[in-house]
Amino acid sequence: MGRGVFITLEGGEGGGKSTQAKMLREVLIARGHEVILTREPGGSPGAEAIRALLVQGDANRWDGMTEALLNTAARRDHLTKVIQPALAQGKVVISDRFADSTMAYQGYGHGVDRATLASLYRAIAGNFQPDLTLILDLPVEVGLARAGTRAGNETRYENMAVVFHQRLRDGFRAIATAEPGRCRVIDANRPLEQVHHDILAATLVACEIRAFNAGRARS
């Protein structure tokens, strides 16, 4: 059995990542794929416990480095207990956020040294990377307005300053520019179905490439 496909959805607040991840999962299941839908921070019991520390409470609860360390601990648990076992079974894993969010939020947003963040990631994941990263991009004001309509108490990041969120957007765009082979920027300031169409098209290409490479490896 070949390795599965790992797809991540990234971007700032209010971009529709969770909705689009669910829509993508439904289509892939209908096409015969086994799909795991997960999220960060979280995705495993241990990581979910850490999630509450990060997304709830006052905006100034932690500094950037503390956030990075909490995210890294959660990610290690998520990787070893959910993502990597599912990929080893040939499944498609869709994650609502992954390591690019740490680079964008804590690196570009809070100013934590980006080389240090990269080292933290390598320490827990080595050379492991998503096969495809979809960055849902939209104007900061639009995203925050959408996020403000959501229910619940996970509002810590939404309460941070607009300039922080602009740095996030710039950070995600910089990540996409640096890794064009892995990242696709999707205009999320459009109707839901149009965004879904572009996400599905990019995903099917990634799945075909993974299947082709797996076939070559076996031959």
pLDDT, one tens digit for every residue, the chain (219 residues) = 468 999 999 999 999 999 999 999 999 999 999 999 999 999 999 999 999 999 999 988 999 999 999 999 999 999 999 999 999 999 999 999 999 999 999 999 999 999 999 999 999 999 999 999 999 999 999 999 998 887 678 889 988 999 999 999 999 999 999 999 999 999 999 999 999 999 999 998 877 766 656 555 554
Sorted by where each begins, the domain ranges of the chain are 5-218
38: which strand partners? Answer: 95
φ, ψ of residue 47 in degrees (nearest 5): -70, -35
Global pTM reads: 0.92
Q: How many CB atoms lie within 10 A of CB 4?
A: 24
CB 204 within 8 A of CB 184: no
- Token pair recorded at residue 32: 């015969």
Q: How many CB atoms lie within 10 A of CB 25?
A: 17
Hunting for tokens 């601990």 — which residue is that?
A: 73
Fold of the CATH domain 5-218: Rossmann fold (3.40.50)
Hunting for tokens 């409470």 — which residue is that?
A: 57
Q: How many CB atoms lie within 10 A of CB 41?
A: 25
Extended strands (E) in 72-169: 92-96, 132-137
CB 173 within 8 A of CB 137: yes
pLDDT of the residue at 68: 97
